[in-house]
Amino acid sequence: MAEHVIRALSLETWGAYAALIEKHNGVWGGCWCTYFHEDTDAVRKKELGGPAFKRRMVELGIAHAALVFDGDQAIGWAEYGAPVELPNIYHRKERDASGIDPANYRITCFFVDRDHRRAGVAYEALQGALDLIAAAGGGVVESYPNTLVEGKKTSSSFLHNGTREMFERAGFEYIRPLGLRKNVVRKVIPAA
């Protein structure tokens, strides 16, 4: 495997992040990794559109991701943030009614360049996100990965939340199912 470096999403890394998204036609139909964010008083998706909305969220410090770099090129990411920054999770009502204490952070989205899929980049992004969370003070991290169905092929491009197996390999504890094919997993990350 090539030597990859993790860098935080910032205005400094914006160009590489945007280039990866543009290479993939906006990612998932033009999402620009904005689905899990809500409008704020200062920023509205419909007014700005995906690219400008996401950039403004980065400028305001309320959009976080661990970017995996191969040289100067971003080849993948894991989006993370506080629940208030990323409230739009799948099956949110079920999650909120579960009685599980709120987490300090959520990991909501992964994306890997089509030329680098099935090579461990998502796992690198996950580890990078956990390192960045530790550097920010740590806490309880929660995510909602997919369960792979035995005998059914799933394109890696549809695993935007990663897999339960990947999270368990990273030391996350399975908490419960969420919806039909998602799960709640958690891990405590100590401060670095």
Q: Round to whole Å and give the CA distance between 170 and 51.
A: 31
Do the beta carbons of residue 161 and residue 145 sit within 8 Å?
yes
Q: What is the pLDDT of residue 32?
A: 86
- What's the confidence (pLDDT) of residue 152? 61
Look at residue 154 and tell me whether its pLDDT is greater than 60. no
Tokens 């999403």 label which residue? 9
Say what the pLDDT of residue 180 is. Answer: 83
Q: Determine the residue type at 145.
A: P
Instruction: State the pLDDT confidence band at 75, using cuts at 50, 70 and 90.
Output: very high
Closest CA to 143 of 111, 179, 183, 189: 183
How confident is the model over 70-78, as a mean pLDDT?
96
Q: How many whole angstroms separate alpha carbon 130 and alpha carbon 187? A: 10
Q: How large is the average pLDDT for residues 111-124?
A: 92
Go through the domains of the chain in sequence order and give each one's CATH number: 5-189 (3.40.630.30)
